[in-house]
Structure 1
Amino acid sequence: MWDYPRPPAVRPSSEHVVVRLGTTVVADTRRALRVLETSHPPTYYLPLADVAEGALVPLDAPTTVCEFKGRATYADVVGRDGDGSPVVARAAAWTYPEPAARYTELVGHVALYPGRMTLCTVDGEPVVAQAGDFYGGWRTRRVVGPFKGEAGTRAW
């Protein structure tokens, strides 16, 4: 990931990505996009068409601005526990409805903070969330750090 570019690059992925919140399969796809950026593990953007109906509840606020991709909007992610009770991950998903010109392929895709989900897997491997409460990187054994967000990386 130290050879990942800046500004970030978007690459299609045929990996099998599955996201669970509680017992709900929130997303299941082989059509993800990986955003690759120097000092970060990849962030996976999943097609909205491969997200369970009702799993995303859009929020009016907050919004954030990425210097490269533009303005992001957020959504709560909703699943169910084994007893049927709701599980809500607040502001755990984001989209770029009108990204900067270089990132238009992100339209119709959503990214999720893996650390706020019950389980995220890539080709069956459980994902480790990138450290820090702002970063959305998905760590697998293929990606070697150190990564931005870990102790001692604040000045990066």
Structure 2
Amino acid sequence: MPQAPRIELHPVSQRVQVQVQVGGKLLADSSQAFELRETGYPPRHYFPREDVRMDLLTTSETTTHCPFKGSTVYFSLGENKDIAWSYEQPIEGMEVIVGRVAFGEEENE
């Protein structure tokens, strides 16, 4: 039987920023991010929405469900589809990430 992925979630003690590779727009800047580490995936930072330029993002039609984290909605930036996501309905034990926004490959520290 395959083993469930291990998930670790920790507050980040330093400032974290996300900038879009094309155009150089700063999308997120926070000293209150959480870092989520999950087996088989790169670490991701989850930002409070007030530290994200939500005015630059549009809600995508994409939704997914992770049995280990919950249900997500995705966000796009112009032609960059589904570059960010948020767990609007996390499962029990993952409530700390509710409403926080994470980014894909564009993430920088």
Q: Normalization by structure 1: what TM-score?
A: 0.60
CA shift digits 1:17-50 (9 cap, x unpaired): 1111213111111111111122332111111110
Choose from 69, 74, 93 the match for 2:84. Answer: 93
Amino acid in the other structure paired with 1:93: A
Q: Per the alignment, do residues 91 and 41 of structure 1 end up closer, same or farther by CA in structure 2, a change over 3 Å counting? A: closer
Q: Secondary structure at the match of 2:88?
A: coil
Partner of 2:76: 76
Partner of 1:57: 58
RMSD of aligned alpha carbons: 1.8
The correspondence of residues 3-152 of structure 1 with structure 2, limited to 5 A, is 6-21=5-20, 22-59=23-60, 61-78=61-78, 88-114=79-105, 117=106, 120-122=107-109
Q: Normalization by structure 2: what TM-score?
A: 0.83
Q: Say which structure is richer in strand.
A: 2
Q: Tell me how far apart the structure 2 counterparts of residues 95 and 6 of structure 1 sit (CA, whole Å).
A: 19
Deviation of 1:106 (Å): 0.5
Q: Tell me how far apart the structure 2 counterparts of residues 41 and 74 of structure 1 sit (CA, whole Å).
A: 18
Q: Per the alignment, do residues 99 and 43 of structure 1 end up closer, same or farther by CA in structure 2, a change over 3 Å counting? A: same
Deviation of 1:107 (Å): 1.2
Return structure 1 stretches of 4+ with deviation > 6 angstroms.
none
Amino acid in the other structure paired with 1:52: R
CA shift digits 1:50-89 (9 cap, x unpaired): 0124122112x221111111111111135xxxxxxxxx41
Query: Structure 1: any 5+ residue segments left out of the alignment?
Result: 79-87, 123-156
Q: Tell me how far apart the structure 1 counterparts of residues 54 and 40 of structure 2 sit (CA, whole Å).
A: 34
Which protein is bigger by CA-based radius of gyration? Answer: 1
Q: Per the alignment, do residues 39 and 26 of structure 1 end up closer, same or farther by CA in structure 2, a change over 3 Å counting? A: same
Q: Tell me how far apart the structure 1 counterparts of residues 42 and 62 of structure 2 sit (CA, whole Å).
A: 24
Query: Structure 2: any 5+ residue segments left out of the alignment?
Result: none
Matched-pair identity in %: 31
Number of residue equivalences = 104
Q: Tell me how far apart the structure 2 counterparts of residues 113 and 9 of structure 1 sit (CA, whole Å).
A: 18
